[in-house]
A and B are shown apart, each in its own frame.
Chain A
Amino acid sequence: MESKIRITPFEDGLVIKFSGELDSSKTMLYRDKIHREMTSSGPRFLLFDLKDCSFLDSAGIGLILGRFNEVEKVAGGCGFIHLSPYARKVIKISGLFSVMKEYSSLMEFRKDMGVKL
């Protein structure tokens, strides 16, 4: 499968979907793409969709953690959706679940984040 990123805005945030392999040959490029989108729309909430993500390592974890650190500065937050058992395991080991949770839908994520509004 071809590796790509798709960024879809919603009112106050972005859904960032990774397909294929999220490895270090992609993360630099993806960081720039997300950065451009964040600069133009100023989102506070980021939902990472890993439905079609077949590979994850610390490069991808670092990319996600870096974006979390950015939205945290504006009292925002991040979440995950569509995690495979494999992706869930890598994320758990990395400790990312201590700062962001897994959700079953965009609606659930917005509701949970809405508390902070």
Chain B
Amino acid sequence: MNKMELRFSATLANESLARTAVSAFIAPLNPSLEEIGEIKTMVSEAVSNAIIHGYGFDSAKEVILRCELDQSVLTLVVIDYGKGIENIENAKKPHYSSRPDLERAGMGLTIMETLADSFTIRSVLGMGSKVIIRKEILSEETYEKEGV
């Protein structure tokens, strides 16, 4: 079991920091390029949702990113103490966005849900949101062995 926690200001410039930290954290498992890409995409979606929707770009606020590796299973938790999601079912609909002006396709939750082995989102209005993602990392060696 290995763990880490990162707290950073709610600014989009830190999205890259969050992605890089997670890819360094999982590097010992020797993930494939595709797996690294998918995990980075999920981290970015969760973190940018916290910054944009949770905190409305208020960089005085903090996003918390927790990572846990239990053998080959990665658990990512992204927490914000922002405004919360009014209607999670609406938010999960493909192409739905509460900020269409930002031109972000409204696909963040769909992308995370599809790429993750398991995906949970909890939110309380006025209290914040928490995204929990689980994904098993099959090292490149395993890929070859299984002929996937």
Cβ contact within 8 Å between B115 and A66: no
Interface size class on chain B is: 20 to 34
A56 to B37, CA, bound (A): 8
Q: A55-B41, A61-B105, A66-B103 are in contact. Are A90 and B12 (CB under 8 A)?
A: no
Instruction: Tell me the A residues contacting B by CB distance below 8 Å.
Output: 21, 23-25, 27, 31, 54-59, 61-63, 65-66, 84-87, 89-90, 93-95
Q: A23-B44, A25-B13 are in contact. Are A90 and B111 (CB under 8 A)?
A: yes
Cβ contact within 8 Å between B103 and A55: no
A31 to B103, CA, bound (A): 10
A85 to B19, CA, bound (A): 19
Instruction: Tell me the B residues contacting A by CB distance below 8 Å.
Output: 12-13, 15-16, 19, 33-34, 37-38, 40-41, 44-45, 48, 94-95, 102-108, 110-111, 114-115
- Which residues of chain A are near B103, meaning CB under 8 Å? 27, 31, 62-63, 65-66
Q: A57-B44, A57-B48, A90-B111 are in contact. Are A24 and B104 (CB under 8 A)?
A: yes
